[in-house]
Amino acid sequence: MSIRVSVVGASGYVGGELLRLLLLHPGVAVAQATSGRLAGRYLHQAHPNLRGISQLQFVHPDKLEPCDVLFLALPHGQAAASVGRYAGLAERIVDCSADFRLGDPADYRRWYGEEHPAPEWLGRFVYGLPEINREQLRGARYASGVGCNATASNLALLPLVRAGLIDVTRPVLVEVKVGSSEGGAQSSESSHHPERAGAVRSFAPVGHRHTAEVRQATGLRDVHLSITAVELVRGALATAQAFAAGPLSEKELWQAYRAFARAQPFVRIVKERQGTYRYPEPKILAGSNYADIGFALDDESGRIVSICAIDNLMKGAAGSAVQCMNLMCGLDEMAGLGFPGLHPI
Ligand SMILES: NC(=O)c1ccc[n+]([C@@H]2O[C@H](COP(=O)([O-])OP(=O)(O)OC[C@H]3O[C@@H](n4cnc5c(N)ncnc54)[C@H](OP(=O)(O)O)[C@@H]3O)[C@@H](O)[C@H]2O)c1
């Protein structure tokens, strides 16, 4: 029997990707998709790619009924504000927001400038990146979302961290280039086409909130993020720079990346000597849950450059969320997530 899943915030960009994945997933049936604005309208009115795939209509969030797994794809603060109600409706919740990502309420004060409205729930959510918490997610009831910039940064850094290759007495710097869909479906002055098109815009050179998530996930205390908006709709490319803890060869780096990727069905190493796609590139990952990681070593200085490309709406949000659900419900971890991306695109 199929697992009944519902999506709250289904008219948004992450909600749309969740629907695309869940409607085609072999082990689940989509029960409800909510939207306040579009209640009563067909899914394809918000997500034209879903025309003919489902005859489901959006329902108002107040009409949400019990189901097995509830996906929340809501603006910041909304999931935490109503978590008791949602938990009363479903045995399992997979959130996509930042509301349950950080374990320490003090981090919400510091990075989000506010008190967490439901701190007692923080310890109940497993941080929803299977590449870090696979075993904790198996059978879990509640999984948090992942930040897209944080996910690209974490997957760039984890092979090095796990192998103990980074000199932790020196800062680790990460630059993340991101596409416009990261801002969600609601338009703003800065997303207006003449302002956004062609942009290479320093969006958050310092102080980005996902820094907290990267510190929590990697254990690196002196890691710093800068975020730049670039001419992409989907995609995030993290370029992390760290210095080696001691003498390091490219062979040892290969071993570290292989050891990390071996256990991760959606992580691929991209490092070619020739050709166009010698390092990870988000363009060919659009719609895919794969994260491509690669590296370069500057022998002279011991500087390691580690690169990770993802689709922010997939590995950085909906794809990881469905991967979490698969683990939580005892399904094949890769179920419904096999799409490898497109080339050419
Ligand atoms: N975009 C990304 O790349 C990305 C990546 C990782 C994580 N995330 C996180 O995922 C979440 C969703 O992001 P998004 O980009 O999909 O945002 P979005 O496009 O703005 O969509 C937000 C959705 O939330 C609904 N909504 C708003 N307030 C609500 C409420 N009080 N109760 C119920 N539904 C409500 C909206 O429904 P209506 O139709 O009623 O307006 C809409 O469907 C955010 O927390 C974001 O931080 C986003």
Instruction: Enumerate residues lining ligand 1, CB below 6 A.
Output: 8-15, 35-38, 61, 73-76, 78, 96-98, 145, 147-148, 181-182, 184-186, 312-313, 316-317
CA nearest neighbour of 321 among 72, 42, 10: 72
pLDDT above 80 (res 330): yes
For 114-126, b/e burial (b = at least 16 CB within 10 A) is eebebeebbeebb
**Catalytic residue selected from 96, 148, 308, 329:** 148
* CA 265 to centroid of ligand 1, rounded, Å: 28
- Across 267-283, average pLDDT: 97
Residue nearest to atom 36 of ligand 1 (CA): 9
Whole-number Å distance between alpha carbons of 279 and 40: 45
CA distances from 284 to 6, 235, 309 (A): 29, 9, 9
pLDDT (0 to 100) of residue 1: 72
Whole-number Å distance between alpha carbons of 58 and 37: 9
Residue-wise pLDDT for 113-164, tens only, equals 999 999 999 999 999 999 999 999 999 999 999 999 999 999 999 999 999 9
Residue nearest to atom 45 of ligand 1 (CA): 97
Whole-number Å distance between alpha carbons of 18 and 73: 9
Residue nearest to atom 40 of ligand 1 (CA): 36
For residues 213 and 157, is the Cβ–Cβ distance under 8 A?
no
Residue nearest to atom 3 of ligand 1 (CA): 182
pTM of the model: 0.98
Among 6, 8, 13, 312, say which to mutate for ligand 1: greatest number of ligand atoms within 8 Å of CB.
13
Q: Which atom of ligand 1 lies at the shortest distance from residue 184's CA?
A: 15
Residue-wise pLDDT for 63-106, tens only, equals 999 999 999 999 999 999 999 999 999 999 999 999 999 999 99
pLDDT band at 52 (very low <50, low <70, confident <90, very high): very high
* CA 319 to centroid of ligand 1, rounded, Å: 15
Whole-number Å distance between alpha carbons of 143 and 33: 19
Residue nearest to atom 20 of ligand 1 (CA): 184
324 tagged catalytic: no
* CA 263 to centroid of ligand 1, rounded, Å: 31
pLDDT band at 245 (very low <50, low <70, confident <90, very high): very high
DSSP 242: E
Whole-number Å distance between alpha carbons of 205 and 202: 6
Residue 97 half-sphere exposure toward CB, CA atoms < 13 A:
21
Whole-number Å distance between alpha carbons of 20 and 18: 6
Domains of the chain: 3-125 (3.40.50.720), 148-312 (3.30.360.10)
pLDDT (0 to 100) of residue 166: 98
* CA 74 to centroid of ligand 1, rounded, Å: 4
What the block records as the tokens of 101 is: 């990502």
- Across 249-267, average pLDDT: 98
* CA 25 to centroid of ligand 1, rounded, Å: 22
